[in-house]
Amino acid sequence: MTTPLLLIEDTPSLQMVYRSVLTSAGHAVRVAATAADGLAAFTEVKPSVVLLDLVLPDRDGLDLMADMLAQRPEVHVIVITANGSINKAVEAMRAGAHDFLVKPFDETRFLGAVDNALTGRPPAGRAARPAPRPRAAPATASPASDAFIGASEAMERIHAKIRSVARSMATVFITGESGTGKELCALAVHDNSARASGPFIALNCGAIPQDLLESEVFGHVKGSFTGAISDKPGAAAAADGGTLFLDEICEMAPALQTKLLRFLQTSTVQPVGATRPRKVNVRIVCATNQDPLEAVRRGRFREDLYYRLFVVPIHMPPLRERGEDVIEIARAALQRFSAEEGRNFTGFSPEVETLFLRHPWPGNVRQLLNVIRHVVVLNDGGLVTPAMLPESLPRGLEAAAPEPERDHAAAADPTRLGDLIGRPLAEVERLLIEATLARCNGSVPKAARMLELSPSTLYRKIEGWKDA
């Protein structure tokens, strides 16, 4: 039986948000609100991954992490800290944490950190593939690259565009929802290019604190700032002769966008603290789960950089628009996971396949793979039936029906405002936000859209309640 993730977080609203995101992605979660309860749960369930807020009411999170690592050194701890506590996150990494999350963070970064911890991969944004890779002939994925399995019309167009663009030096801009396989698309472009034997360096711009991102991209020299104890080449130099993949490009700070534009224009990098630039030969592939043009309109992304990068766009379609591909991906994943876990599954029942075709899959391929992994780990084999599916996945087909329209007339009914009159405005705001989060099943992005706020603003408000 698979062990749940352990989430140690004392703020109820954040507990609800984090748990909802994790369960929607197919993960089982055990929640604790204090260090004492967290350590007891850690001893009981023996999780492989712990999500640990460093600020707890009864004990310092670093001390708790030390106790957990002393018990089980193999556990992967992801520490969660506020924006003003970067030094504490760095201290946690030195003490043995696998990764850190700085609030506010989005669902993509959150789930990416968890996926990396579960598979033992290095943290997102610090993972690289500098070793030479053999060139792949067709623009198709390996058996493990489930997002590229399928023969739908949408994916055929993707394969054709990859085959065409891979032979050029043109910058590729990949868009698509979280979990659709944007990094796999970038890898396919690299593997089908003349640079396939060179390095493929992936950097997640949303996974690294902004004050460290310049050093991660362009490198630094020893002594250029506090903590720079040795020279570091940076991702752009490490990708020399190969491909640099910049994920979540729209999260890049404006000041660094200017330096990236200069890099694209001159093909030179100048590490922090260096006196001379260095020429490199790098192909840029970038990706975002946002609308980049909307980011330009809002002033969060430079227009000149957008037009410099947006040369060959590739949009990865969501799983719900890929028809029968969902069944092909599920069958391939079932076969692969069965072999890994020593199980003997024969396929899916017609009811399960129908449910898979009807389900909207908000987490896309990532969510589907988590569902299949859940089934394989918790069952011995045979035909997959609806009873084997995780509880987070609706059994009935009616679950795929769209959410009902909001009753604006009822919401505007002044007779329902009586309980709020006389309360402080901050308290009314908190009640409204918590009610909206509950309606959106804990999804901060959905609640933010409903409230016409940015997700980062909503995260900051939720975090502020903790300090109040």
Kindly report the CATH number assigned to the domain that includes residue 186: 3.40.50.300
Question: Is 154 in the same domain as 279?
Answer: yes
* Structural domain that includes position 334: 322-400
Confidence at residue 136, expressed as pLDDT on a 0 to 100 scale:
34
Lookup result for tokens 């969660």: 80
- 10 part of a folded domain: yes
**CATH number for 458:** 1.10.10
What's the half-sphere exposure (Cβ side, CA atoms, 13 Å) at 74?
Answer: 6
Question: Is 75 in the same domain as 21?
Answer: yes
Last-in-domain residue among 119, 148, 166: 119
CA 2 to chain centre: 22
- 375 part of a folded domain: yes
Task: Say how many domains are in the chain.
Answer: 4
Strand blocks (E) in 370-431: 381-384
Last-in-domain residue among 270, 296, 317: 317
Question: Is 91 in the same domain as 179?
Answer: no
Question: Is 212 in the same domain as 160?
Answer: yes
Element (H, E) at 344: strand 344-348
Confidence at residue 140, expressed as pLDDT on a 0 to 100 scale:
36
- 245 part of a folded domain: yes
Lookup result for tokens 């969060």: 300
- 133 part of a folded domain: yes
Instruction: Specify the amino acid at residue 100.
Output: F
Confidence at residue 121, expressed as pLDDT on a 0 to 100 scale:
56
Of 320, 419, 404, 306, the closest CA to residue 367 belongs to 320
Confidence at residue 15, expressed as pLDDT on a 0 to 100 scale:
87
Q: Which of the residues in the chain have pLDDT under 70?
A: 1-2, 83-87, 89-90, 104, 120-147, 210-211, 224-229, 395-420, 441, 454-456, 463, 466-468
Confidence at residue 395, expressed as pLDDT on a 0 to 100 scale:
61
**CATH number for 334:** 1.10.8.60
Cis peptide before 318 (omega within 30 of 0): no
- 406 part of a folded domain: no
Question: Is 210 in the same domain as 338?
Answer: no
Say how far apart CA 58 and CA 20 lie, in whole Å.
Answer: 25
Last-in-domain residue among 298, 317, 336: 317
Confidence at residue 408, expressed as pLDDT on a 0 to 100 scale:
39
Question: Is 174 in the same domain as 200?
Answer: yes
DSSP per residue over 149-212, as a string?
A: ----HHHHHHHHHHHHHTTS---EEEE--TTS-HHHHHHHHHHTSTTTTS-EEEEETTSS-HHH
Confidence at residue 132, expressed as pLDDT on a 0 to 100 scale:
34
Confidence at residue 411, expressed as pLDDT on a 0 to 100 scale:
40
Say how far apart CA 41 and CA 47 lie, in whole Å.
Answer: 9
Lookup result for tokens 């058996």: 143
**CATH number for 53:** 3.40.50.2300
Question: Is 303 in the same domain as 326?
Answer: no
Contact 103, 82 (CB under 8 A): yes
Q: What is the pLDDT of residues 180-198, one digit of tens each?
A: 989 889 999 998 898 888 8
Question: Is 295 in the same domain as 258?
Answer: yes
Confidence at residue 5, expressed as pLDDT on a 0 to 100 scale:
93
- 234 part of a folded domain: yes
Q: Can you give the pTM of this predicted structure?
A: 0.56
Question: Is 305 in the same domain as 349?
Answer: no
Contact 21, 442 (CB under 8 A): yes
Give, in order, the Cα–Cα distances in Å from 398 to each of 195, 324, 360, 394, 403: 48, 20, 11, 8, 11
Say how far apart CA 238 and CA 217 lie, in whole Å.
Answer: 9
Contact 221, 231 (CB under 8 A): yes
Question: Is 11 in the same domain as 105?
Answer: yes
Confidence at residue 340, expressed as pLDDT on a 0 to 100 scale:
83
Cβ burial, residue 158 (10 Å; 0-12/13-18/19+)? buried
Question: Is 327 in the same domain as 392?
Answer: yes
Element (H, E) at 287: strand 283-288
Of 208, 155, 206, 207, the closest CA to residue 185 belongs to 155
Question: Is 109 in the same domain as 155?
Answer: no
- 408 part of a folded domain: no
Confidence at residue 398, expressed as pLDDT on a 0 to 100 scale:
42
Both ends of the chain: CA-CA distance in Å? 40
- 370 part of a folded domain: yes
Q: What is the pLDDT of residues 255-301, one digit of tens each?
A: 889 888 988 888 888 777 777 788 889 999 999 998 898 889 989 99
